[in-house]
Structure 1
């Protein structure tokens, strides 16, 4: 078992207070957006290992590369290769993230190969595919967590837009009453993202003023326009379900599902990829044709995950993919110790109280890496998240 030393990513949308409050550290005054746990090359966690009669701190990615089967287990290496297949995070959104979708595995592989063949540098601002992997993800709320996820029923969206009484929205209202629903949604999103920028900026301004006046279900979109004035993503966001997760509730986001996080503190886990196609709410590159090829125009209510505890106390957030498996233990005082030993690699993260792993106390925000097959016993009181794989 290794204590992890983790990197905080200071993205502009990060909260200045949420992560320091969890970690018990002093705020720096700068945004602190994400705490990364894992072996992603962008910011691998660091572990202390014996070296030349002493100890030294090493990137977890290097430790795994030196002996993948020892660290990950034979089954994980056979299924996912010699790499940790997930990235685990604490995410602290102080302002909205970009409206985005992720490709499926086949789309990512094809897109990455095409951009490699075209000679587009991986760090080019107009590049879509940074790697050849998909990026399904799961977010679990630690505080009330606000977001947008998937397309709302088109008729309900038509009513939301019509209530704004903005002339330039009326064509979208008419389109949203058309059938089939997926074609109507595609046509409206295409029209929004390809509209004349000046005309769209005026539409966004008028819509934001109406949303501020109407309040209620309209209020979130006035807030988005405050952060992103004139951005067509404000109107695109109105096509999506608005959701607020309560602590312990989770949301799985598969390929092609448009989404955005608006605010809150949560635990997030995803396949080890950086492939993002943006729809708006961002100054970054938006590739409309590629985006429309990847988006799934399926309307419906998002499925909120609310797990139930097993007899041993483990609450599993069920997902349809194998690159990660997330669960948690919420342990009262005097709870019986639990054996967490498993033939797959694990990252264990405390978020409340002081749970102990093999006698080592973990304060909130602290985590450990447990190599495959190594003994790990959970005791003490508090909340512990467990990230591993299905192999």
Structure 2
């Protein structure tokens, strides 16, 4: 097993304090958005096996069978098929959607055939893979996920009292669900930009007023008002009002499959995804929005956000069940001096401590992870997880992430489906 040295990505929407607090480092004053753990070539973790730091992707490339195990290589190829992150949103991320596998392969092949450079700002498909993802809240976490039922979206728009939104509400009430959602989203994203900017400004002011009232959608209106403050005049603000607003409590999760529009708004979470950069944006961004391609990819159906809570297995592993094989996310909450937990060793795994501390012991040695630290465990290496009393006593009462005992240890486990 190898301790990971990870890269922090400084995207503009990142929190200036959340990741430094997790890592126990001083804030720099600059946004720190994502801590990447894995073998993605864009920012691979580094390991040191005695000959100096080596990117994890290079270690895997050198001997994929030893690092990943034969079952994972046969199923997913000679690469780690997931990317594991800590995500810290201090401002809303772009409203976006991801393609399914067939769409990604076709879109990538088409853009390659047309000679569009992979780094071109108008390129949609950076690779031929899909990008399902899941996020588990470490703090209260605000997001948007999936379409509201059209009648509910119409009610919300009407409550704002903005005349220019009335035609959208009428469509949502009159048309069948799929047609209504498609027609309104297309109309919002293709409307005259100046006129839409005025509509967004009026809607934002109304949302801010309604957020202060004790109505059924007060929290929703507060979220939309905050989003509009970050992206004044952006059509994505109105598009966001078509989506479910959800606040996750620590330990709760969302799974986001292909075609589901979503955005993260605020909070700290653990995120896992298939190893892909394919994103089609709907708004809340200065980046390229390809409306025709977006409308082809989005699933125009009302959905429940589907908040996930972990299911506890017989060995104490708390599993977040998702319908995907490229990743499997779970956690262990370790009591001080409690029973050792032994994760399945058949697959490669990354272990991340988000609260307290944990001791990892294998036939090759032992390693202590404190809050914010992580380790890569190759396939076939059996590890025991504990929080011995000496560790618990030394860490004291840490600033809790809300995911477990502040005098024990909470460890998230990222792996693949065996």
Measure, in 2, the Cα distance between the counterparts of 1:88 and 1:286.
Answer: 26
1:311 positional shift: 2.5
1:79 deviates by 0.3
Q: Which residue of 1 aligns with 2:214?
A: none
**Residue matched to 2:102:** 106
Q: By how many angstroms is 1:375 displaced?
A: 2.0
Aligned residue for 2:136, secondary structure, equals strand
Return the offset for 1:222: 1.1
1:219-368 to structure 2, matched below 5 A, reads: 219-358=222-361, 359-368=366-375
The CA deviation at 1:193 is 0.4
Of the candidates 107, 131, 138, which is equivalent to residue 135 of structure 1? 131
The Cα shift of 1:341 comes to 4.4
Alignment match, 1:5: 5
RMSD: 0.8
1:61-210 pair list within 5 angstroms: 61-210=57-206
SS at match of 1:223: helix
Number of aligned residues: 387
Query: Which secondary structure state, in structure 1, belongs to the residue aligned with residue 325 of structure 2?
Result: coil
Structure-1-length-normalised TM-score: 0.98
Report SS of the residue matched to 2:126. coil
1:334: how far off?
Answer: 2.4
Partner SS state of residue 336, structure 1: coil
Comparing 331-340 and 371-380, the one that deviates more: 331-340
The aligned counterpart of 2:380 is 373
Q: Give the distance between the partners of 2:238 and 2:314, measured in 1 at CA.
A: 46
| 1:243 Cα deviation after fit | 0.2
Q: Distance in 1 between matches of 2:175 and 2:168?
A: 13
Give yes or no for contact 1:341–1:377 (8 Å, CA) kept in 2. no
Q: Which residue of 2 aligns with 1:20?
A: 20
Residues in 2 aligned to 1:286 and 1:304: alpha-carbon distance in whole angstroms: 28
CA distance in 1 between partners of 2:252 and 2:28 (Å): 30
What is the distance in 2 between the residues matched to 1:232 and 1:336?
Answer: 53
> How far, CA to CA, are the matches of 1:311 and 1:344 in structure 2?
19
**Whole-angstrom CA distance in 1 between matches of 2:134 and 2:222:** 26
Answer yes or no: is the 8 Å Cα contact 1:341–1:374 preserved in 2: no
Q: Deviation string for 1:171-220 (max 9, x for gaps)?
A: 00100002311110000000000000011001001111111111113121
Asked whether the equivalents of residues 11 and 31 of structure 1 are also in contact (C-alpha less than 8 Å), the reply is: yes
DSSP 3-state at the match of 1:273: coil
Structure 2 length as normaliser, TM-score? 0.92
Structure 1 stretches of at least 4 aligned residues deviating more than 4 Å after TM superposition:
none
Query: Contact 1:134–1:273 (CA<8 Å) still a contact in 2?
Result: yes
1:38 alignment partner in structure 2: 38
Which whole-Å deviations, capped at 9, do the CAs of 1:367-386 have from their partners, x for residues lacking one? 00000001211111310000
Range 193-202 or range 326-335, more displaced: 326-335
Structure 1 gaps of 5+ residues are: none
For the Cα contact (< 8 Å) 2:315–2:342, is it kept in 1? Answer: no
Shift of 1:360: 1.6
